[in-house]
Chains A and B, each alone.
Chain A
Amino acid sequence: MSLLSRYLMRELSLFILFALIGLLGLYTFFDLIAELTDLGVGGYRLSDALIYVALRAPANAYELLPIAVLIGGIFGLSHLSGSSELTVIRASGVSLKRLLLWLCLIGAFYGVITLLLGEYIAPAGKRMANQHRLAATQSMLVGDFRSGVWIKDGKQIVNIGEMLPDLTVVNARIYEFGKTLTLDRVIEGHNGRFQSKGNWTLQKATITQFLPEHAGVVLTKPAVFNWQTSISPAMLAVLLVEPAQMSATSLLSYIDHLKRNKQKTSRYELALWGKLFYPLACLSMVLIALPFAQTQKRSSNAGVRVFIGIACGLVFHFANQIVVYLGDLYNWPPPIVVAIPTLLFLSAAGLMLWRQERR
């Protein structure tokens, strides 16, 4: 990293950091407002809300980093070109290609940060935040539906009412099917605890068994029932977080589970591919910043160019999200769906740069 590229890096990073703090401030502010409505629920105090919002910051950062890189990049570069340092750098023999390379390096650096954030820090932060909030409000972790979490596992369809922060489950009901669409058993357990791989124990269980050919219904109420299932607490935890915030590893294991149970995986596959391409977004943001920043200081529309640059970046980020949703809705192949917007923007940025250079 030559002196010049290090200087460029430091300069841009300052602006990117500045943009990130501004944006993060805005988002934590919105999160706090959302939390205020829950104050007082089960002893949820203001300090708990502040901790919860602070723990969610990494997740927000993960979502905002590309935009911050864009805004920081544009401001940084236009600041450099404004003080004509950029022209000095170009004049001192740095070809466009080398400049682009440095920018790519910077973009890649932030891409790696995004990857780290998305893979470890954000999910952990989110989980701790949820756990803290649950402990504070003594409420339970419930899945997407009011009827709790639903999982299909082989010959069983399982409904978990609630999951406590200590990963034990409450109000579990398991429908066990026979061969031709017949219900063999309904197992209900007041609470269940994970024992070892493949089995849980349910306390205060009730088993309703349907004998074949309408012969009768047998009811047994064992105090403890050993429930054989491939469902693991990790899988339950996964279900309680939106796909976008799951780490790639947990996404991979869950997709594998879904495939084994002939369940639709597109929503989670899209999230997985999205996560892989997301760091690339930082790279493209930096490259998009360059064409917009290369202006003369005095030209009247300097502000307008900056504004357009930011707008384009936002449109890109917006498009990224919409495409993922449409992909899920119309079952487009995930890799392509996720790649299109990024590639489109990279080529647009390249085109602008090329046009600018030629002039």
Chain B
Amino acid sequence: EKADREKQINIVAANCVMNQKTQASVCTKDVVLTQGTLSIRADKLTVRQDEAGNQYVAGNGGPVRFRQKMDGGNDWVDAEAQRFDYDGRTGILKLIDKAWVKRGEDQIHSDLITYDLNNEAYQAQSKPESGGRVNIVITPKKAPAP
């Protein structure tokens, strides 16, 4: 949900190092970041906040797992990837290496998925050299029960 971005951010981790000069915190081992409905589980997470308050989060894991509730409805988006990079200012989340996103029934697997949290649209690219396959499974939405 868009509203998440205003919410308080909580990080739980085994170890964190905060650097005030760069306003960046690097947390490692069993890191769980939650903000509103968004939750990210990763092995390593770097969080940075700029003066405007935009969060820049990056990290990796084996894999990194995302979960966020969709706006309006109680559908959840789940995603996984080896590495990810989120740019709060643009609202773009990049999932890299063995990335897949599952929204409702739709699923998408790819080497690189770019998910735009603003309009909840995502775009998948495969890495040309690896001949990766982009595998998209769209499941029609069932009409809401009358």
Q: Does A touch B (CB under 8 Å) in the complex?
A: no
Which residues of B does A touch, CB under 8 Å?
none
Which residues of A does B touch, CB under 8 Å?
none
